[in-house]
Amino acid sequence: MKRITLLEIYRHPITQKYVNRSGLAHAISTASYAFDFADQKKVNHDLAVKAAFLHDMGHYLWYRNGKWDYHLYKENDIHAIKGAERAHKLLIRLGENPVHAKKIALAILLHTDSYLPKGELELDPLQEVVAMADKADEEPGGGHHYKTISNKEAVKRIKELDKRVEEKMKVGKDQSAS
C-alpha cells in the first residue's frame, strides 16, 4: 500500500480549512517534535507525525463580540473529539490504511484531557508521543495557535518530515503500527 504523505494531507481542502484555523505553525512544530519523540518511544513515525500534524483540527472559533472568548471555549470545547472525527474522515478519503486511521484518530482524541472529567488516562506509546509533542510546542496564553508560517516554509518543512519518515520506513527500523 502506497504511503499517504503529509504533503497530500496538507494540500487537502479540509486540512487547509481546519489546520490553518488552529495554527499551521503549531501543527508543523508538533509534528516535528512527534518525530523525535517517536524515536525515544519506539513508535511508528508515520502515525506519530500524521496524528501530531492533525491533532488540533477540531477547534472551533469561540468568539464573542468579535473577540476570542476563553470562557466560552473552556465551557464548550470538544476539539479533541471533533478533531479525531475530522482527521479520520480525511485520512479515509485520502486512502489511508483504516487501522492506521483509527490509531491516528485515537491519538488525537486523547492528546489532551482538558475536556474530560478528572481522572487518570492510561495512554499507549503513540498517544503519549502526540500529547508530549503538543505540550512541547505550547506557549503561555495559547500563543502557539497564533504563530505564523509562510506557505513556502510550510511545504518545505512538511516535505522534510515526509522524507525523514520515508527513510525510517525504508530501512525497516520503524515499528509496524503502534
Site for Fe ion, rule CB under 5 A: 56, 112, 134
CB closer to Fe ion, 24 vs 91: 24
* CA gap 9, 7 in Å, rounded: 5
Partners of 67 in beta bridges = 64
User: What SS3 class is residue 42?
Assistant: coil
Least distance from Fe ion to the Cβ atom of residue 27, Å: 8
Least distance from Fe ion to the Cβ atom of residue 175, Å: 24
* Buried/exposed 45-58: b ≥16 CB within 10 Å, e otherwise: bbbbbbbbbbbbbb
3-state DSSP of 61-127: CCEECCEECHHHHHHHCCHHHHHHHHHHHHHHHHCCCHHHHHHHHHHHHCCCCCCCCCCCCCCCHHH
CB closer to Fe ion, 51 vs 174: 51
CB closer to Fe ion, 3 vs 21: 21
Least distance from Fe ion to the Cβ atom of residue 83, Å: 7
CB closer to Fe ion, 112 vs 127: 112
Least distance from Fe ion to the Cβ atom of residue 77, Å: 9
Least distance from Fe ion to the Cβ atom of residue 137, Å: 7
Under a CB-based contact definition with an 8 Å cutoff, are residues 105 and 81 in contact?
no
* CA gap 65, 27 in Å, rounded: 27
CB closer to Fe ion, 96 vs 134: 134
